[in-house]
């Protein structure tokens, strides 16, 4: 609950903020914004992550101060865990021994924190952090505004997804008034790719296939394709959106080969096709329209299994007139 979070912040001094491995725009934007808020209140605060800040987010205010850690190595009064389904998602082993504040907008999140503040109506955790800033009486600085804007921008798919509401634009408007620079942030996040990424996009898109109905499409990235392009795993993020731009396509799978015959699978869908259910059948999870899982399997069999489940999901989806594409 927000009230308890505020009370905790007011009573204590030393805080860390962390989020899931391979952080994204919402997890980083929200973490950095919260860090700025805490520092603005005169607290000791830092963002700690298991993984480095992805290139796309290195221009967010404060991102250079994110400390990459293997485990908790300092004393904190509490650790904020941003948008994680469980306490292991940050990849920080002794996190469970800390006083944990779980902040998330996924309705499926385990209540693993000592405090849990969950708001499934928030478009992004960034929106919750913005509400916290206002509730605790922080001045919304350009740094806070920019970080929250980045969280909203990325988790709404640049305001394309169905979590984009009047409230989203109202908050975005307030953020711009407080110093967030939309064009500059979009440029930093979406027009700042390394050359190798676009080469990788070309190579991965050349693997595009669809089923006979044309409603399901899939793409694959091998280790070889990654190595040939010189791209990183992060550079393959978002490639899944291209097949989803095909008008007839309702569900997409992206098979990313990791080391030792493990595949990381991303699933995306439109409307009411529930890919979270599909991911859960393979041990993962997510939202209705964006989900994923990691599995050790032979590609040929795995792809058959996943496509079969996607077909069931597409065929059993309730009809919907609007195009609803939900965020991460």
Binding positions for ligand 5GP, rule: CB under 6 A? 85, 266, 284-287, 290-294, 328
Report which residue's Cβ sits closest to Mn ion.
26
The site partner of 54 among ligand 5GP, Mn ion, none (C-beta below 5 to 8 Å per kind) is none
Closer CB to ligand 5GP, residue 40 or residue 284?
A: 284
Q: CA-to-CA distance for 196 and 235, rounded, in angstroms?
A: 8
**Shortest distance, position 206 Cβ to Mn ion, whole Å:** 31
DSSP letters spanning 28-65: HHHHHHHHHHHHHTT-EEEEEESSPPPGGGTTSTTGGG
Q: In DSSP terms, which residues pair with 209 in a beta bridge?
A: 218
DSSP letters spanning 9-31: HHH--EEEEEE-SS--HHHHHHH
Sorted by sequence, the CB contacts under 8 Å of residue 97 that are 6+ apart come out as 72
The site partner of 143 among ligand 5GP, Mn ion, none (C-beta below 5 to 8 Å per kind) is none
The site partner of 155 among ligand 5GP, Mn ion, none (C-beta below 5 to 8 Å per kind) is Mn ion
Closer CB to ligand 5GP, residue 85 or residue 258?
A: 85
Q: CA-to-CA distance for 159 and 7, rounded, in angstroms?
A: 33
What tokens does 96 get? Answer: 């469970």
**Shortest distance, position 287 Cβ to ligand 5GP, whole Å:** 6
**Shortest distance, position 289 Cβ to ligand 5GP, whole Å:** 9
Closer CB to ligand 5GP, residue 3 or residue 283?
A: 283
The site partner of 146 among Mn ion, ligand 5GP, none (C-beta below 5 to 8 Å per kind) is none
**Shortest distance, position 77 Cβ to ligand 5GP, whole Å:** 28
Q: Parallel, antiparallel, or unpaired: how do β-strands 209-210 and 216-221 relate?
A: antiparallel
Sorted by sequence, the CB contacts under 8 Å of residue 177 that are 6+ apart come out as none
**Terminal Cα distance for the chain, rounded:** 22
The site partner of 113 among ligand 5GP, Mn ion, none (C-beta below 5 to 8 Å per kind) is none
The site partner of 290 among ligand 5GP, Mn ion, none (C-beta below 5 to 8 Å per kind) is ligand 5GP
The site partner of 284 among ligand 5GP, Mn ion, none (C-beta below 5 to 8 Å per kind) is ligand 5GP
Using an 8 Å Cβ cutoff, are 124 and 105 in contact? yes
Please tell me the chain's helix, strand, coil percentages from 3-state DSSP, rounded to the nearest 5. Answer: 40, 20, 40
Of residues 162, 119, 148, 122, the one with CA closest to residue 268: 162
Closer CB to ligand 5GP, residue 88 or residue 192?
A: 88
Q: CA-to-CA distance for 325 and 269, rounded, in angstroms?
A: 7
**Shortest distance, position 29 Cβ to Mn ion, whole Å:** 9
Closer CB to ligand 5GP, residue 270 or residue 287?
A: 287
**Shortest distance, position 255 Cβ to Mn ion, whole Å:** 23
**Shortest distance, position 293 Cβ to ligand 5GP, whole Å:** 5
State the residues that interact with Mn ion by CB under 5 A: 26, 83, 124, 155
CA angle 73, 90, 288 (to 5 degrees): 165
Closer CB to Mn ion, residue 155 or residue 235?
A: 155
Closer CB to Mn ion, residue 26 or residue 46?
A: 26
**Shortest distance, position 134 Cβ to ligand 5GP, whole Å:** 26
């Amino acid at each position: 609950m927000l009230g308890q979070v505020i009370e905790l912040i007011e009573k204590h001094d030393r805080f860390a903020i962390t989020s899931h491995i391979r952080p994204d725009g919402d997890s980083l934007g929200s973490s950095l914004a919260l860090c700025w808020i805490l520092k603005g209140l005169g607290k000791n605060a830092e963002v700690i992550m298991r993984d480095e800040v992805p290139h796309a987010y290195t221009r967010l205010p404060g991102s250079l101060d994110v400390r990459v850690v293997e485990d908790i190595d300092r004393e904190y009064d509490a650790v904020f865990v941003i948008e994680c389904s469980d306490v292991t998602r940050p990849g920080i082993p002794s996190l469970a021994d800390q006083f944990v504040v779980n902040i998330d907008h996924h309705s499926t999140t385990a209540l693993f924190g000592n405090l849990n503040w969950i708001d499934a109506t928030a478009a992004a955790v960034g929106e919750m952090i913005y509400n916290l800033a206002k509730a605790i009486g922080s001045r919304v600085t350009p740094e806070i505004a920019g970080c929250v804007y980045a969280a909203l921008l990325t988790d709404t798919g640049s305001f394309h997804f169905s979590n984009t509401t009047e409230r989203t634009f109202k908050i975005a408007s307030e953020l711009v008034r407080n110093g967030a620079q939309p064009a500059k942030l979009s440029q930093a996040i979406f027009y700042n790719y390394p050359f190798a990424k676009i080469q990788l996009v070309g190579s991965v898109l050349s693997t595009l296939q669809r089923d006979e109905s044309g409603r399901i499409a899939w793409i694959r990235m091998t280790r070889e394709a990654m190595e040939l392009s010189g791209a990183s795993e992060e550079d393959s993020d978002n490639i899944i959106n291209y097949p989803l731009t095909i008008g007839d396509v309702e569900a997409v799978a992206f098979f990313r080969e990791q080391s030792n015959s493990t595949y990381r699978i991303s699933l995306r869908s439109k409307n009411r096709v529930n890919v979270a259910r599909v991911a859960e059948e393979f041990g993962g999870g997510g939202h209705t329209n964006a989900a994923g899982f990691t599995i050790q399997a032979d590609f040929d069999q795995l792809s058959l299994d996943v496509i079969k489940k996607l077909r069931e999901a597409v065929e059993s989806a309730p009809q919907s007139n609007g195009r609803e594409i939900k965020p991460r």
